[in-house]
Structure 1
Amino acid sequence: MLVILTILSAALLTAANYYPDLYFLSWIGFFPFLYFIFILNKNELNYKRAFLAGWNLGFWILIFSSNFLYHSIEIYTEASFFLIIFILILLFSLLAFVYAVFFMIYFYFQQKLFAGNQFNPFLFAIVWTVMEVVRYYLFYFFPLANLAYTQVEFLSFIQLAEIGGIWILTFIMVLVNALIFKLIFYRQAKNAFVIVLIFLFIFIFANYRAEIVSENTGQFLADQNFKIGIITSRIDQNRKWNLSQLEQNLNLTLDAASNLVGAELIIAPETNITFDFHANQKYREKFLNKIAAEFKKPVQIGSLAGRDSISGRFNSSFLISPAGKIISRYDKNLLLYFGERFPFEDTLNKYIPYNFSSLNAGQQQHIFKYKNFKWKTVICSEILYPDYVKDGSKNVDFIVNQTNEAWFKESRLLKNLMWQAAVLRAVENRTVVVKTGNYSHNGIIYPLGNYEKTISGQNYHLLNLNQASRKAFKKPFFSDIIN
């Protein structure tokens, strides 16, 4: 019964990661689990049971939130299906111990603070949120499975991310879950009053901030007819780095000159240039000469590139002027574990046929500038780190996220999670986020969290940023729930 109800809870809590319009399920997702623990087994609950229950819930939340890792491991290792499943079960089992410790801590305080060992919604929400913060910083390499990301279609609610990020969203979601649970199963009417107050606060704050943000956000962009062109692609990871694909990758970028006329800036996906843009002088000069001949505006490209006097390569983003000169460069700082950085690399290479090779991490953030506008670039998984994206974001006009999500094939989950993260980064920083990638959701996200995705199947898209700064928050009170 524990396993069945726990799986049901985990599925409800994470359903919106697969189908974003199901975000409301996350607000009742704890019900089956809480019912089993605090109703069916109230008198039998002890530290051992609390530990096992917490571990069980965490394990299934992690599975439903991160199963896309199967595809990247398969590509990297060429391991068998059963070996990859074993690796993932082991990984999720270890990470789930944080949830197990959380439930033990909650059970301890519940016993000490409340007469009759009564379930308390506020304590439950506080301890869960603290657990999420601890989990985020303790396992910084794994910034996944936070419930706040399920709420990107609940525009009124996510406005609160401006003042408390994903943590305040997490706290309120868990608190409302617990309050409704206690209202139904403990028949405490006062909880209904608290729930109503919470939602009134959500909608009032959303509409209040919408007025101010619509008027004040992006004054620089609002005064100009500023357009960004993005290049998107659907190139399978298994052939992307083939020599036969190299010229096609280059032409996809170069053809943007004629397909994105009117753009003030053109941005390509992560590693769209599949040669070392620093070391391969022949190809680099050939490419730069064509930029100078065909482009009238700057173009931002991605490449795995080396640096002088440093062995190894970086995951880099280059800004190139219309004259074919490299203006600036950013090297990705936060590398993806088991994607760009491999612990125990020598041991892995000894036992697994794939030749693992870690990239170098950049040492500082970088602001791109051209004429009188500037922007911050975060490469692929860096968008999952709220604190990293926020650092310096007040000094830029917009944020760019270049990605290559082909490592995960057509994973609906991964593409949705990356897009959901970009939406929350836009709201947290009250700035426009432009996302472009390979095998990804692409488009523009406005400071209020509403967005416009590009049309799938097309490679070139023109985005009007001056509309973004004046984009109205159209949903009135309660329309998020009604719709």
Structure 2
Amino acid sequence: MTALAEFAMLSFGWRRALFVMLAGAIAGLSAAPVFFLPALFLGLSVLVWALDGAERRKGLAGAVFGPAFRIGFAFGFGYFAVTLHWVGAAFLVDGGWLLAAMPPAVAGLALVLALFWGMGTALAHMLWSSGAGRIFALAVGLTLAEWARGTLFTGFPFNLLGYALTANAEMMQAASLVGVYGLSFFAVLIAATPALVWPAADRSLVARIAPLFAAFALIALQIGWGHYRLGNTPTTPLDGVNLRIVQPVISQDIKWQTYARAETIQRLLDLSTMQVGPDDAGLDDVTHLIWPEAAIPFFLSDEPELLAQIARTLPDAIWLVTGAPREPYGTNGEIVPGAKPYNSILAFNGAGEVVTSYDKTHLVPFGEYLPFDDLFRALGVTQFVAGSQGWAAGSERRLMELPGSPAFLPLICYEIVFPGALGPVEEAAFLLVLTNDAWFDGSIGPAQHFHHARIRAVEEGRALVRAANSGISALVDPLGRIETMLAEGQVGAIKGVPDQPLAATVFAQWRYGPLLVLLALGLVAALPGWRRRRKGLDG
């Protein structure tokens, strides 16, 4: 390890960039669904050693865009290229010229996100020292970078560093205290400790390994507390709610084809009414039938006979909650010409009438809408999700309240991955997420997306109901445990009752408050070493 540390510190130029990029790629193995935590220890230690050898530049511009920035940028590119390579699977759906666009698109996403990490390491290097304070500085810098990339410019908080510390139900429970951004702080702090062991310098063996053992003790404490919370937090099913979740597994390349509409609806209805067990009563005891995002792949006005078929099949005392496109209507009930449609969740009663709806508010850039629309369309670039105009964003997050049913918070697809920014969660009986991950079938994307959703359940202390076109559909309790699920690619239906909300978690009460405390403590821990370094330089 000493030789590795010295190489990281002494290398420069393109050799350092490639070496640090490889370290970032290795660190990416700690993300879901692999969760190989030793990879994060190795990767972040190399990052610390590389920053130890980074040249210092005078002036603000030199500090912000100097070697420390380039080191963090290269490390981030390696990390995001590994953890988000699955985004390229969306280009395989339509094939053709899009296959040529896949490599630059995936690389471009990694490069953009790596900018945040470059700024994070540049900030950390301003507080750098030779002692333990430097890993606190790195924890502060990268945590702020993670918050920024998850929040600014619509945000993209996939694979935050903190997810590496949520590999199982016991470890997940810490998210109820500090959220995944807070766990990102601890992930950096813990995983960078090997950099304090090597090289040896003049420190005693005890002084060198004590931080590493402290890191292991912190992980053990996290697991132990999670085990205690799981064993001492009772959950109670909601009264008057019995769900049936359908996973149709309809291929993305035929989903929006006109000729497939009747077959699609028939498949959904067959799965809705089939027996899922020897004592199953079909829809007779179901209060809510849940279909995934865009399960109805057409405007309701286009296929009145198919809607009538749905109404004939549904019992009177049932709610069908499904994803579907929604046309934009004016105040007088007319369709607004030229306006973009909505990616929506519609609630039908047993008579097939739409009672209420929710329009997706947080759209995916380049997936559901085009930033700088006119410019990109002039260049022939369109969004990937069906609908030549793209989608319009809904006005606000709100609860879906159905007569005789507890209110729940509806979310569509990646709206669930934003920690602390889901909407009026405190008034919701449970979280409902409809998604269509078929764009990424065969990749690790659906597993990552599902894991992120489970962490939201833990943070908020709310049960999670997830319906996906091709998986993973599941019922998750407020502690993040899977009660029943359909695996990726499994055609079928599951039934279950979501649990009542838990008492408000620390995260639900204080949101980013614990994170701010951690950042403040990290700065306090980093400053003494920085002051000593400054005095040494000045002297």
- Whether TM exceeds 0.5 here: the answer is yes
Q: 1:245 is matched with which residue: 260, 263, 269?
A: 260
CA distance in 2, matches of 1:21, 1:98: 23
Aligned partner of 1:330 in structure 2 is 358
Once the two structures are overlaid, the 10-residue window that deviates more, 178-187 or 432-441, is 178-187
Q: 1:227 is matched with which residue: 228, 242, 267?
A: 242
CA distance in 1, matches of 2:35, 2:123: 34
How many residue pairs get aligned? The number is 453
Give runs of aligned pairs for residues 192-231 of structure 1, distance below 5 A. 192=212, 194-212=214-232, 214-215=233-234, 217=235, 219=236, 221=238, 224=239, 226-231=241-246
Once the two structures are overlaid, the 10-residue window that deviates more, 73-82 or 313-322, is 73-82
Once the two structures are overlaid, the 10-residue window that deviates more, 57-66 or 15-24, is 15-24
Are 2:440 and 1:400 equivalent residues in the alignment?
no
Aligned partner of 1:62 in structure 2 is 80
CA distance in 1, matches of 2:266, 2:455: 34
CA distance in 1, matches of 2:465, 2:240: 16
CA distance in 2, matches of 1:348, 1:75: 21
Give runs of aligned pairs for residues 344-363 of structure 1, distance below 5 A. 344-352=372-380, 356-363=388-395
Q: 1:181 is matched with which residue: 176, 189, 195?
A: 195
Are 2:325 and 1:271 equivalent residues in the alignment?
no
Are 2:71 and 1:50 equivalent residues in the alignment?
no
Which deviations, in whole Å up to 9, do the C-alpha atoms of 1:330-364 show, x marking residues without a partner? 11110111111112333333332768422111112
Which deviations, in whole Å up to 9, do the C-alpha atoms of 1:422-446 show, x marking residues without a partner? 1111100111111111223221222
Aligned partner of 2:461 in structure 1 is 430
Paired residue type of 1:265: H
Structure 2 unaligned spans of 5+: 1-14, 58-62, 276-281, 331-335, 503-539
Structure 1 residue 33: Cα displacement = 3.2
Paired residue type of 1:438: N
Are 2:89 and 1:71 equivalent residues in the alignment?
yes
Q: Is the 8 A contact 1:431 1:447 kept in 2?
A: yes
Structure 1 residue 319: Cα displacement = 1.1
Aligned partner of 1:374 in structure 2 is 407
Q: Is the 8 A contact 2:470 2:491 kept in 1?
A: no
CA distance in 2, matches of 1:350, 1:139: 23
Coordinate RMSD, CA, aligned: 2.9
Cα distance 1:283–1:348, how it changes in 2: closer, same or farther (>3 A)? Answer: farther
Aligned partner of 1:10 in structure 2 is 24
CA distance in 2, matches of 1:162, 1:125: 20
Q: 1:142 is matched with which residue: 140, 148, 156?
A: 156
CA distance in 2, matches of 1:450, 1:185: 42
Paired residue type of 2:294: T
Cα distance 1:76–1:332, how it changes in 2: closer, same or farther (>3 A)? Answer: farther
CA distance in 2, matches of 1:94, 1:465: 39
SS at match of 1:358: coil
Cα distance 1:97–1:153, how it changes in 2: closer, same or farther (>3 A)? Answer: closer
Q: Is the 8 A contact 2:91 2:99 kept in 1?
A: no
Once the two structures are overlaid, the 10-residue window that deviates more, 17-26 or 392-401, is 17-26
CA distance in 2, matches of 1:335, 1:121: 36
Structure 1 residue 273: Cα displacement = 0.4
Cα distance 1:71–1:269, how it changes in 2: closer, same or farther (>3 A)? Answer: same
Once the two structures are overlaid, the 10-residue window that deviates more, 69-78 or 440-449, is 69-78
Once the two structures are overlaid, the 10-residue window that deviates more, 445-454 or 300-309, is 445-454
Which deviations, in whole Å up to 9, do the C-alpha atoms of 1:107-136 show, x marking residues without a partner? 1111xxx4x587622222122111211222
Q: Is the 8 A contact 1:307 1:313 kept in 2?
A: yes
Q: Is the 8 A contact 1:150 1:420 kept in 2?
A: no
Cα distance 1:209–1:80, how it changes in 2: closer, same or farther (>3 A)? Answer: closer
Are 2:312 and 1:290 equivalent residues in the alignment?
yes
Cα distance 1:424–1:447, how it changes in 2: closer, same or farther (>3 A)? Answer: same
Which deviations, in whole Å up to 9, do the C-alpha atoms of 1:146-169 show, x marking residues without a partner? 122334323333212112211111
Q: Is the 8 A contact 1:220 1:397 kept in 2?
A: no
Give runs of aligned pairs for residues 308-327 of structure 1, distance below 5 A. 308-309=329-330, 310=336, 311-327=339-355
SS at match of 1:29: helix
Q: Is the 8 A contact 1:228 1:463 kept in 2?
A: yes
Aligned partner of 2:368 in structure 1 is 340
Which deviations, in whole Å up to 9, do the C-alpha atoms of 1:260-290 show, x marking residues without a partner? 433331100100101112x336246524532
Q: Is the 8 A contact 2:240 2:287 kept in 1?
A: no
* TM, length-normalised to structure 2: 0.76
Which deviations, in whole Å up to 9, do the C-alpha atoms of 1:84-122 show, x marking residues without a partner? 323433343233222222222211111xxx4x5876222
Which protein shows a greater Rg?
A: 2
CA distance in 2, matches of 1:353, 1:362: 23
Q: 1:439 is matched with which residue: 457, 470, 473?
A: 470
CA distance in 2, matches of 1:208, 1:409: 36
Q: Is the 8 A contact 2:471 2:486 kept in 1?
A: no
Q: Is the 8 A contact 2:413 2:434 kept in 1?
A: yes
CA distance in 2, matches of 1:360, 1:334: 10
Structure 1 residue 82: Cα displacement = 3.7
Structure 1 unaligned spans of 5+: 470-483
CA distance in 1, matches of 2:49, 2:430: 45
SS at match of 1:162: helix
Which deviations, in whole Å up to 9, do the C-alpha atoms of 1:287-310 show, x marking residues without a partner? 453245x56421111111113224
SS at match of 1:270: coil
Percent of paired sites with the same residue: 19
* TM, length-normalised to structure 1: 0.84
